[in-house]
Amino acid sequence: MGKVKIVYDENAIQTLDALEHIRLRTGMYIGRIGDGSNPADGIYVMLKEVIDNSVDEFIMGEGRKIEIRRDGPQITIRDFGRGIPLGKVVDCVSQINTGGKYNDDVFQFSVGLNGVGTKAVNALSSEFEVVSYRDHKMMRARFQRGRIVEQKGGKAPKEANGTLIRFIPDEEIFGNYEWREDYIERRLLYYAFLNAGLQLVYNGKKFSSKSGLADLLLHELGETPPVYEILHCRQERLEFALSHTQNYGETYFSFVNGQYTNDGGSHQSAFREGILKGVNEFTKGGFAGEDVRDGIIGAVAIKLQDPVFESQTKNKLGSTEIRSWIVNAVREELVLWLHRNPQEAEKLVAKVKQNQKLRKELSAIKKEARERARKVAIRIPKLIDCKQHFNQPKHKRREETSIFLTEGDSAGGAMIQARDVQTQAIYSLKGKPLNTFSLGREAVYKNEELYNIMRALGLEEDIEGLRYNQVIIATDADVDGMHIRNLLLTYFLKYFEELVVSGHLYILETPLFRVRNKSRTIYCYSESERDEALEKLKKAEITRFKGLGEISPKEFKFFIDPEEARLTQVVIDKVSTISEALSFYMGKNTPKRKEFIINNLIADIA
């Protein structure tokens, strides 16, 4: 068959309306679309973009309260800032590159997208309304899928200045989506922690903070006491808080102009360096970085004009010019705090010395593990790597990189044939990993499987060496598969807490059934989906998948395709829940766990 000749002339050139382009290329503006089951899904990005504008008003000293209401799929946000200039209301929500955030005199440290945020929300909403109140006058504009259907101005003698935005995410874009209350409330909590003195009210529930990032750490720790009193510093462009816990690793929450940078970046690495320098200056010692920082929990937020991010999703800050002043500011404040609080300083130094002692005890075990690994193989056994890596910033597809930790050689073999060799790596587990709940860190180095997983992911030093954006657990949907999944979750939560907190850990949902007739195939992830498929296809053949090994490479290509895969992100409500969950599911509380399983089994049957 000859090649089809494509005519490239004037008729091939298209000019799209700006908002039409947003609807056509949604991912360029809000990242993933999703259905509301993941906190990074598009509907939450839309909510964020609107609230960001209201927070900007607070940052500029206008309006200390933001009201948010949800009624089914509809969200309404009302702030009490200055209100959009009435003559520009329509342009500000419909014309790309129109807004006040290009003017540094008006918005110095904007958290919203310059000239894009509310336009994207407008374009991606089936219903969108904006009302601006200024000096007892108002201007209202109503849109449907980005097209204006009504504009009306008038008097508003009883309304305080500010802006109201109401929107309904469009089902044509997002499908059958659903808002999750816990995701909304967590986002509002972060806004409160980052903006001490701001009150956010969501359906009558109030969110506010007096102590900013110190309150964030206390919230994350819950009833778990820190090793010493939280150090909290607030400057004009920098705020940070820190303490130590008895957990392994380092856990950070970092922000730029209110944007949560879950992959850190130059501000977070400068924060870490400042802590190290401050402790060593105070103690006049030469502690290693892991001695000082192991077990630390910290939060850092900076305000920055024109920040440079390493990706469109703004997960990692790339601005390098900020490094030296952050390092020096953190070092100076930490040294000052340690001198002023001798009892707390004693606790911090004791923790650092304990870390140093454990590191030295582990050094021989680490050396032995490395030598053992070199003798076994040049490469990491059972790892089929991809060509690009997450920690290689020059690669355009770095955000797409993933590794599947899969159960057995048969499933691994099928996935290897189905994967994208550029971005998807496969690691085949030998069997059931060790239950690490009650074990110390030495277990990672003494156990060959756990050590090789750590090496494959690039976590031998710290999370900054992570080689893949997504770490995906892919096990059978049976009892053994669930057990392996729990063992891997325990491993990551115990030793690599920050990997999970930063949002890099996922679970691959694989189908239980295949329902097909001569014309169509439907993959079902539950019995209810199977029953619905049978209704649609009438006379159909049902296949019950017993394990991943029964799924063909052709089918796996669909299940692990980045656009089609059902991935459930492992989300932590707060750090304190990790030890509670591990203790319950993996600890020695067999009677309680047995009672829980029986009660929930009865509930499912009922």
Of 184-188, 311-315, 457-461, 489-493, the poorest mean pLDDT is in 311-315
595 or 294, which is more confident? 294
Q: Is the pLDDT of residue 571 over 90?
A: no
Question: Class for domain 213-359, per CATH?
Answer: alpha beta
User: By C-alpha distance, which of 173, 63, 77 is closest to 131?
Assistant: 77
Note the pLDDT tens digit of each residue in 53-92: 999 899 888 899 999 999 999 999 999 999 999 998 998 8
In CATH, the architecture of 18-180 is: 2-Layer Sandwich (3.30)
Note the pLDDT tens digit of each residue in 334-380: 999 999 999 999 999 999 999 999 999 999 898 888 888 887 777 78
Encoded tokens for 155: 């008097």
Note the pLDDT tens digit of each residue in 421-465: 999 999 999 888 999 988 889 999 999 999 999 999 999 888 888
Encoded tokens for 524: 């079902």
Percent of the chain with pLDDT over 90: 53
CATH 3.40.50.670 fits 381-510+547-577, yes or no: yes
Question: What is the pTM assigned to this prediction?
Answer: 0.82
User: By C-alpha distance, which of 471, 497, 483 is closest to 383?
Assistant: 471
State which amino acid sits at residue 6. I
Q: Where are the domains of the chain?
A: 18-180, 213-359, 381-510+547-577, 513-544
DSSP 186: H
Q: Is the pLDDT of residue 595 over 50?
A: yes
* Band of residue 312 on the pLDDT scale cut at 50, 70, 90: low
Residue 230 CA to residue 348 CA, distance in Å, equals: 11
Give the helix, strand, coil percentages of the chain, each rounded to 5.
Answer: 40, 20, 40
Q: Same topology for domains 18-180 and 381-510+547-577, yes or no?
A: no
Encoded tokens for 192: 């409160």
Q: Is the pLDDT of residue 602 over 60?
A: no
